[in-house]
Copies of this chain bind each other. A is one copy, B any other.
Amino acid sequence: MPEGDTVSGTTATRRTPRGLETRSRIVESAANLFYVKGVNATTLDDVRLASSTSKSQLYNHFEDKLALIHAVIDVQSKFVLAREEQRLRSVKTLSGLRRWRDALVQANSLQDGSYGCALGAMSIELSDTDEQSRRALNASFDAWQRILVETLTRLRELGVLTEDADPQRLGTGLLAALQGGYVLAQNAHNSEPMAVGLDMALDHIGSFARS
């Protein structure tokens, strides 16, 4: 069994464009289903149906369901991190940070708070079951936090925040507030608690603003 493993989670020796196209269709469909139904509640038949593929294709492209899960974690992580990176890179003021908040809250409210955070949900569902998933998701959360810390560090260097501000702690707290907001919003089917949670974190960060 020669495992090329160029693309994470793939059992490939060589792949054609068409095959890669099919593969990504499968992953996209699975990602979507995992997001709205949960990983465990999604069957491979669901994935097959949603992606217009067949059983053998799933097993051609993925060792087993777990490999598919890992691929989905991979793609969701990349998606979330790219989005956050893009949104936060240019933030240079506190109101820039608030606009970041607004975008998250708005996206969440468009779906009535449902489904929560793609990474957080998978994390809770998988981290006690599959160590590899946990590691991957943990790495993504670390990266996410790093982006936040970089942003806050920049704000401090620009003099928006005072020297007292600890970007590391503030970044962790901000991410915790965000994740907790997702949990409460998902449960309440209402994005309000997420908005309140984030606002509290931002207010706290604002308390370090250079007057």
With beta carbons under 8 angstroms apart, the residue of B37, B120, B141, B176 that contacts A200 is B176
| B184 and A176 within 8 A (CB) | yes
The oligomer's copy count stands at 2
Give the CA-CA distance A11 to B40 in the complex, in Å.
28
Instruction: Give the interface centre of A124, A178, A184, A197 by most chain B CB atoms within 10 Å.
Output: A124
Mark out the residues of chain A between 154 and 180 whose CB falls within 8 Å of any chain B CB in the assembled complex. Answer: 169-170, 172-180
Interface residues on A, range: 35 or more
Tell me, yes or no, whether A108 is within 8 Å of chain B by CB: no
Tell me, yes or no, whether A123 is within 8 Å of chain B by CB: yes
Report the minimal beta-carbon distance from A35 to chain B, rounded to whole angstroms.
9
| A176 and B181 within 8 A (CB) | yes
With beta carbons under 8 angstroms apart, the residue of B137, B181, B204 that contacts A187 is B137
Task: Write out, one digit per residue, whether chain A residues 133-158 have a CB within 8 A of any chain B CB (1) or not (0).
Answer: 01001100100000000000000000
Tell me, yes or no, whether A10 is within 8 Å of chain B by CB: no
| B128 and A41 within 8 A (CB) | yes
> Contacts A179-B184, A180-B183 given: A38-B129 contact, CB under 8 Å?
yes
Report the minimal beta-carbon distance from A173 to chain B, rounded to whole angstroms.
3
| B134 and A187 within 8 A (CB) | yes
Mark out the residues of chain A between 37 and 76 whose CB falls within 8 Å of any chain B CB in the assembled complex. Answer: 37-38, 40-41
With beta carbons under 8 angstroms apart, the residue of B121, B134, B180 that contacts A197 is B180
> Contacts A120-B124, A169-B200 given: A176-B188 contact, CB under 8 Å?
no
Tell me, yes or no, whether A106 is within 8 Å of chain B by CB: no
- 16 residue pairs of the A-B complex, CB under 8 angstroms, read A37-B129, A41-B129, A120-B124, A127-B187, A138-B187, A141-B187, A170-B200, A172-B184, A172-B200, A173-B201, A175-B193, A176-B177, A176-B180, A179-B179, A180-B180, A180-B182
